[in-house]
Structure 1
Amino acid sequence: MVEAGLQAGQLLTLIVIALALGMDAFSLGVGIGLKGIRLLDVLKLSAIIALFHVMMPLMGIFTGKYVGTLLGGVATSAGGALLLLLGGHMIYSSLRGDAVPSINHRSAWGMLLFALSVSIDSFSVGLSLGMFAVDMLLAVLLFGLAGGVMSISGLLIGRRVSSSLGGYGEAVGGVILLTFGLLILF
């Protein structure tokens, strides 16, 4: 009876952590969706984000306890800084028009950069989870599922809203990313 209660508690905890980690993917999705995105790109970007939400905690788990105490806060700060840079760049390029090339979310480099920016905090969570007796396979699969589903949701919501915002979509998306970056850093 006690064992079943512990397993249910662990599952609930992992689901809450997965949803919290997926919120960055959701916000990024809304921001990129506001720029306008094709359905095929929604699937590709969400798959890469889901993969990063599996790989980053695994890397964190294998990195070890000592490095975790040193890099835990750095990983979160780096994720916030990347969101700030991406959001600021989106705002700047929307105000400047075609004179400034923006980060292309369709390119392999752009997708990797976006996926890394929302998945880097999963690394520090992996460091923490590696110190406890947690079902790692279940944890990383939940993280990947939540990251993928929440990024799809954000991308589709942003895509739908972008048609009503017109040319301001990229600026609004940039403000959203900038805000989440600030929230992570402060």
Structure 2
Amino acid sequence: MDIFSMFFLAVGLAMDAFSVSITRGMILKCNFKYAFTIALFFGAFQALMPVVGWLAGEQLAVVVELWAPWIAFILLLIIGGKMIYEGFQEEDDDVCQIFSLKDILILSIATSIDAFAVGVTFAFLNTPILLPILIIGLVTFALSFIGVYLGKRAGHLFGNKIEILGGIILIGIGLKILLENLIF
């Protein structure tokens, strides 16, 4: 696989993380540190999951292909539902709205499950894993970081209730992942 193919694969894998980063950025009222943390988690998990898939190879491919869409859907449904619920709660505008590391961990796993399957494919094709995971991790990090800031800029336009929209978007992403894998 050439470097351009790896880059476009990385961009494709990063799209879920990018979308989720935008939704997190919509409710974020803080600074660089939080955008960096989200991007770091998403980039690290997108880089780690292909390695796990590559190591697991054939043994887990069938199980992951069967259950991955459901796992991603359930995780995004839970986080999206939580965001919708929190969107209806009263908030103090002066409080810096942050996230829990548990939420970011769950979102990182949910958005990187497809990267696991790519790792399995790399194992089947005898593709060396180091360069692809570096590209995948860096592209996801960059797009997630940009996504948080895009969401932050858009979130201020809509006020505090943007969290409800973010939750709906996360549930929509989960539903899209599920339906794409069930139908195709």
**TM-score, normalization: structure 1?**
0.85
Contact 2:18 2:143 in 1 (8 A): yes
Q: Which runs of 5+ in 2 are unaligned?
A: 92-96, 180-184
Name the aligned partner's letter for residue 117 of structure 1.
A
TM-aligned CA deviation for residue 110 of structure 1: 2.5
Distance of 2:69 and 2:38 partners within structure 1:
21
1:155 correspondence with 2:148? yes
Question: Which residue of the other structure, out of 165, 169, 174, is the alignment partner of 2:162?
Answer: 169
Q: Identity across aligned pairs (percent)?
A: 28
Larger mean Cα displacement after TM superposition, 147-156 or 30-39: 30-39
Question: Which residue of the other structure, out of 102, 105, 111, is the alignment partner of 1:112?
Answer: 105
Name the residue aligned to 1:184: 177
Q: Which runs of 5+ in 1 are unaligned?
A: 1-6, 99-103
Distance of 2:116 and 2:6 partners within structure 1:
15
Name the aligned partner's letter for residue 15 of structure 1.
F
Aligned length: 173
TM-aligned CA deviation for residue 68 of structure 1: 0.9
**TM-score, normalization: structure 2?**
0.85
1:24 correspondence with 2:9? no
In terms of fraction of residues, the more helix-rich structure is 1
Distance of 1:22 and 1:71 partners within structure 2:
19
Partner SS for 2:127: coil
User: What is the root-mean-square deviation of aligned Cα atoms in Å?
Assistant: 1.8
Question: Which residue of the other structure, out of 41, 44, 50, is the alignment partner of 1:51?
Answer: 44
Displaced runs of 4+ in structure 1, greater than 6 A? Answer: none
Partner SS for 2:137: helix
1:122 correspondence with 2:126? no
TM-aligned CA deviation for residue 63 of structure 1: 0.9
Name the aligned partner's letter for residue 118 of structure 2.
V
TM-aligned CA deviation for residue 23 of structure 1: 0.4
